Amino acid sequence: MLNLAISEALGEEIRALVSRHPDRLSMETIKTQNKGYSAEISVVTYSHSRREIDNHSKFRILLSFGQHGRELITSELALRLLSILSEEQQIPNMGPLSLNNTLEKLVIKVVPMENLNGRKLVEAGDLCERRNGRGVDLNRNWSVDWGKKEKDYDPYEENPGTAPFSEPETQMMRKLSTSFDPHVWINVHSGMEALFMPYDHRNTTPDGLVSHVMKSLLEDLNDLHCQGRCLVGSGGGSVGYLAHGTATDYMYEVAKVPMTFTFEIYGDTDASSKDCFKMFNPTDIMTFNRVLNDWCGAFFTIFNTAKHRLDGINSKASDDKLGKWESIDEYLEGYLMERSSRYGKRTEVLELGLQEIRTYFRLFLLSSVLLMFMFCSRISKSKYTTIRPIVSAVSL
């Protein structure tokens, strides 16, 4: 059986990798506690040139691994991805030059092991443990549709906690997502092979162009890197059950991250339900390397194309607005709905209103000038018509 690195050894490898590449990688550890329960997460930030400090001028991607303790392979994927980003390893058929061209406009934050306490329980022998150190499933502890229980609800598997964000781990991840404000969020799991988009708590996908673009991207990833094996669609509509209070639904619905995904990178459907290690993790080196290479390739396809796809959405939205007359009340109402849901920035509506007033004032001035010009032209023409017969009556 393949022995995956224990959490301490994996953490040491990541810290050593960061220390070897301070020009591109940095690392911080965030700690917090709740009612005597302490937790921590490490966050590795990649930027092609750390001298360019303004992360918000770049395209931002947030990746979370190891949310469930038993899914050890996901944190191994995080380490492999960071090794490729630092150019210590390569994806087959992808050279350093293409990597540099792809990455120079990105900032990527990686959480290699979101559920460290749960991972330690697995390493202590509870190989089926997915929850955190006090028995809460971190992927049921977010606020969207929190606490709803289906008929097949299993409290051991899906305990949502006492309230949304009751757990230090989800509190830290929410704070990280708010401060970083990503364009892309990916939550990485194992147990099957799938590429999911919202929603987890419904059996449908969102409406609109962004949803179509997300679905198209996932279908491309399935063809290129999953050889058509992966399920593609909403989590709630594809996996066979609804999940309430998930991170991906929160990122899409509340944090308004434009592109939000859940990746399921490996699953052994032939494994016994009692053999959780084999169900969720590869057990031979060949499969281990294939999984890591395939999914690193999928990540780099996203790095290559996500910004372009979102830019295409913004461009189409701009074209649509140009081709459609809209009243100021309609415009302000739509803007208010869009902005008030994102960090409560309602004061921007006042600024927008002033801009609209200035625009209408300029249009008023322009129309006044045109009317004056037309009026003067009409007077001039009238005078010319009156004088002309008199002049023509004069004998030559």
Residue-wise pLDDT for 221-270, tens only, equals 999 999 999 999 999 999 889 999 999 999 999 999 999 999 999 999 99
11-50 confidence digits (pLDDT tens): 999 999 999 999 999 999 999 999 999 999 999 999 987 6
pLDDT, mean of residues 273-290: 96
pLDDT band of 380, cuts 50, 70, 90: low
Task: Kindly indicate the confidence band of residue 367, based on its pLDDT and cuts at 50, 70 and 90.
Answer: low
Taking only the tens place, the pLDDT of each residue in 331-348 is: 444 434 444 444 444 433
Q: What is the reported pLDDT for 138?
A: 98
**pLDDT, mean of residues 126-135:** 96
Q: Take residue 219 and report the two structure tokens written for it.
A: 């279908």
Active-site entry in 40, 150, 264, 348: 264
User: How does pLDDT run across 65-80, given as a tens digit for each residue?
Assistant: 999 999 999 999 999 9
Please check the confidence at residue 387 and state whether its pLDDT lies above 80: no
Mean pLDDT over 118-130 rounds to: 97
The pLDDT of residue 312 is above 90:
no
Q: Which two tokens stand for residue 196?
A: 């999911």
Quote the pLDDT of residue 28. 97
In terms of Cβ atoms closer than 10 Å to its own Cβ (0-12, 13-18, 19+), residue 356 is middle
Active site includes 264?
yes
pTM here is 0.81
Residue with tokens 């150019």: 87
User: Would you say residue 356 has pLDDT above 60?
Assistant: no
Q: Residue 330: is its pLDDT beyond 50?
A: no
Q: What is the pLDDT of residues 89-108, one digit of tens each?
A: 988 777 666 677 778 889 99
The amino acid sitting at 240 is G
Phi-psi label, residue 201: left if phi above 0, alpha if psi -120 to 50, beta otherwise: alpha
How big, in percent rounded to 5, are the helix, strand and coil portions of the chain? 50, 15, 35
Assigned CATH topology for domain 7-320: Aminopeptidase (3.40.630)
- What gap in Å lies between CA 219 and CA 229, rounded to an integer? 11
**Domain map (residue ranges) of the chain:** 7-320, 331-377
Whole-angstrom distance, CA of residue 119 vs CA of residue 259: 28
- Which pair of tokens denotes residue 335? 């803007």
Mean pLDDT of the chain: 84
Q: Who contacts 232 (Cβ-Cβ below 8 Å, separation ≥6)? A: 194, 195, 196, 215, 218, 219, 222, 238
pLDDT in tens, 175-189: 999 999 999 999 999
Q: What is the mean pLDDT of residues 44-64?
A: 81
Mean pLDDT of 116-131: 97
